[in-house]
Chain A
């Protein structure tokens, strides 16, 4: 997706045995760490997903029960509600981030001091902890003392009880995600814009194309690679993240703002249904894998169109 296309071949093939030995010694610690900390737990999760284990009943995993855990999760309406909510948040959030991020990148494309300073300030939301960002917005959305409703009131609109309403709490999550991650889109699109040869854009404007037309028909097509990249990264991260929902709404009111990760978190580490949660996370894994494959296809198609 991003890096497999490096043009340079690996270093000249090594011939001496001590050299190879040295390289394997270099690789060993990281390899062992990845096996112990990633491969082993994941293999463990797939085993757990076929056993019966609720930590409230027993401290050790029980018998193998086939696909029962999967069936249980798939039969749970909360799971499907969470999948729907996750999808809505991701699609709306990423679309807004794409529009705002590209707009900001276009606005701040010059190397002038004002533009550089603005970019530096604008990237701050993405460096802070998502839990802190969510707390900041809990203050903003507070219906009595928060600035959001105060501003709405100043134009004569009575703001909703943001975090206590099934609809508006989802809007709130999208707002926080957009506030925090638009800067990421801005950074990636900016750096892609910088790599577009300026002569092309100038040539277009000499030919009489207006600023907007030059942007739309010359630059935008050259940015498809960057767009595919941010859409992939942001969709996956947004789909997977727990922090905002956990801090902002706790999945509430009721189950209305449960997302997939929050659902699995609550199932496994709050209700201690360890094996059901493991089964659910493998189902989630399949959804994510399908998305990754689709993105790959889209990425390839867009590259073929633009070249």
Chain B
């Protein structure tokens, strides 16, 4: 009896926590349907609901450019990172490097993930200007690749190192060459890790702000820089700010829920392999 009461209280607690933690999302949805006047009242729901904010966002040609640029950047970054990361992760796992070399490689790969990125952004800005790529989506692609290639390599290196050798050795005895074994025996076993690398790369690239903000200007904004550019505090632009924020959130939320298994696997990798 006592146990059932405790169970019911736990369930109630969980429901409350979930509602409290997701409340800001409801505020976002509500605000995106508010009219300018509603931002002067403290009512949670819009008093004069309107789709005006979305109409305004989509009638602005900039929004199309942002969407297009973000999609281009995410697609190229993800494909190239997974491809190069898989190849290099495989090479590093199979080159028969000494353990301390592998340790050093892993340290460098993690260092690229964690050092102050602002240090790289300043020279990158100069580099892109000199290469004539400044203010194009390709500058942002190169900027993202500088983070995601080492990251994908790290993930894939760990995946390849975790594979049993027996299958590969059996293939070698049957006379298959290394490229053949790589394609037909090894690669199929790391499909799920490749998906993990792809999902994490895509999420990072879609959400990334510092590099995109530093390497583009008004000609080629991406979604994240567009979302961050509502710096007017006049209270007038809140509606469109909410609408555009909703537009950048919605695809990634759906994507993350669909790919939840891979996303969680990637995010908790350190804890599991540690």
Contacts and interface: CB of A to CB of B under 8 A. Distances in A.
Interface of A: 1-6, 8-14, 16, 18-20, 22-24, 26-27, 29-31, 33-34, 37-38, 40-42, 44-45, 48, 104, 107-108, 114-115, 118, 120-140, 142, 144-147, 149-150, 153, 179, 182, 184, 187-192, 195, 225-226, 229-230, 233, 236-237, 240, 242-243, 246-247, 250, 260-261, 264-265, 268-269, 274, 277-278, 281-282, 284-285, 288, 292
B126 A274 contact: yes
Interface of B: 10-11, 13-14, 17-18, 21-25, 27-28, 31, 34, 38-44, 84-85, 87-88, 90-97, 99, 102-103, 106-107, 110, 112, 114-127, 142-143, 145-146, 149-150, 153-154, 158, 161-162, 165, 168-169, 177-179, 182, 203, 206-207, 209-210, 213-214, 223-224, 227-228, 230-231, 235, 238, 241-242, 245, 248-249, 252-253, 256-257, 260, 263-264, 267-274
B24 A137 contact: yes
A118, A123, A131: most-surrounded residue (chain B CB, <10 A): A131
A30 B87 contact: yes
Contacts of B270: 1-3, 188, 229, 233
A135 B31 CA distance: 11
What secondary structure prevails in chain A residues at the interface with B?
A: helix
A125 B253 CA distance: 9
Contact of B94 (A2, A11, A126, A284): A11
Closest 9 CB pairs of A and B: A30-B88, A281-B119, A37-B146, A129-B207, A27-B91, A44-B123, A2-B270, A127-B256, A26-B91
A285 to B, nearest CB: 6
Given A128-B249, A135-B230, A144-B39, A3 B224 contact: no
A123 B18 CA distance: 10
A144 B42 contact: yes
Contact of B28 (A19, A139, A230, A288): A139
Contacts, number: 327
Contacts of A225: 271, 274
A268 B43 CA distance: 42
A33 B118 contact: no
8 contacts: A30-B149, A41-B120, A129-B207, A136-B25, A139-B238, A142-B235, A246-B228, A277-B122
B241 A135 contact: yes
Given A22-B178, A26-B90, A131-B224, A11 B165 contact: yes
A240 B40 contact: no
Contacts of B84: 29-30, 33
B106 A246 contact: no
A242 B123 contact: no
Contact of B267 (A16, A108, A187, A278): A187
Contacts of B124: 37, 41
Given A33-B145, A132-B249, A38 B264 contact: no
Binding site secondary structure of chain B:
helix
B15 to A, nearest CB: 8
Contact of B158 (A3, A233, A237, A281): A3
B126 A191 contact: no
Contact of B95 (A20, A122, A129): A20
Nearest to B158: A3
A265 B210 contact: yes
Nearest to A233: B270
A188 B271 contact: yes
Nearest to B267: A187
Given A11-B96, A41-B127, A124 B256 contact: yes
B21 A122 contact: yes
Nearest to A211: B6
B22 to A, nearest CB: 6
Nearest to B99: A9
A132 B242 CA distance: 9
B122 A147 contact: no
Given A123-B264, A139-B31, A269-B214, A30 B228 contact: no
A134 B230 CA distance: 11
A191 B270 CA distance: 10
Given A139-B31, A140-B27, A265-B214, 14 more contacts: A8-B161, A10-B97, A14-B96, A26-B91, A45-B123, A120-B257, A127-B203, A127-B207, A128-B252, A129-B209, A129-B249, A138-B241, A145-B31, A145-B40
A261 B38 CA distance: 35
A124 B22 contact: yes
A45 B120 contact: yes
Contacts of B123: 40-42, 44-45, 48, 278
B93 A285 contact: no
A184 B200 CA distance: 14
Contacts of B235: 142, 144
